[in-house]
Amino acid sequence: MKVREMEAIKREAKPGCPVREKSTDAGADNGLPASAANNGGECWELRRQGAAAAKAAERKKTALLRRLANFLGNTLFALLLGAMVFLVFTMVQSRFTGESPSLAGYQLYIVQGGSMTPTFEAGSLALLRPVDPAKVTAGDIITYRSVGGSANLTTHHVMAVHGYGEALSFTTRGDANQVDDHQAVYPENIVGQVVYTIPYAGYLLSFGQSKTGIITLVFIPGVLILVFELRNLFRLAAQWEEEKGRKLKAKGESFSEEA
């Protein structure tokens, strides 16, 4: 054994592991006794097994991190794709119907003002469901049109219910206001009852329906998704070709051996 290799083994050897040395002089042997040599062999075998276990643990850790990265990437991809589909769906639906988009039976409205602070803020996305005016009670939050058929919508709490049948009306108030609304709300003006609000989602929906939003939230992510998927397809094709080449090579070698 060369002197440099012997020194490297000495540095790596653990305490208690005997090292068999050979003199650099021809015919000289400074070896250890047979019992020490046997112990040394066992020690080196333990070291070999320990190194193999460490490599296996490292490979397992690397595989775990790779799986975690793939999971996070797939989750992000699914969320991005879902957001794109949602924005495109609401945009197309609004363009064709001329009304606020709806999803799973709920109408989606963007809260424009802050009269319902602190219950929900401006920029929230309100989910409304159709409601029978006769079933509206004090404490419900309703969205209604102003008297006179105005296109402007207001979302306030119902403070009191008056009369019934054709004489039914409601007194409303915004949570940020100190007094009730001056005008009563009549059944024919009620658009729906607010069942849920999503903070700031209205800003995202409003931005997504603009030209800048379509480019930022739909077109650019769509191009990126297409590029990544094409890259994955080319990678799979290259792996398939490599595997096919290995099989053909192995098959050729087996034919050569038989010949």
pLDDT, one tens digit per residue, over 35-78 is 555 555 667 777 777 787 888 888 888 888 888 887 887 788 78
pLDDT score for 28: 45
pTM: 0.57
Low-confidence ranges of the chain (pLDDT < 70): 1-42, 148-150, 252-259
pLDDT, tens digit (0-9, with 9 covering 90-100), for 224-246: 878 888 888 888 888 888 888 77
- The domains located in the chain, with CATH, are 3-57 (no CATH), 102-199 (2.10.109.10)
pLDDT score for 17: 54
Q: What is the 3 state secondary structure string of the chain?
A: CCHHHHHHHHHHCCCCCCCCCCCCCCCCCCCCCHHHHHHHHHHHHHHHHHHHHHHHHHHHHHHHHHHHHHHHHHHHHHHHHHHHHHHHHHHHHHHHHCCCCEECCEEEEECCCCCCCCCCCCCCEEEEECCCHHHCCCCCEEEEECCCCCCCEEEEEEEEEECCHHHCEEEEECCCCCCCCCCCECHHHEEEEEEEEECCHHHHHHHHCCHHHHHHHHHHHHHHHHHHHHHHHHHHHHHHHHHHHHHHHHHHHHHHHHC
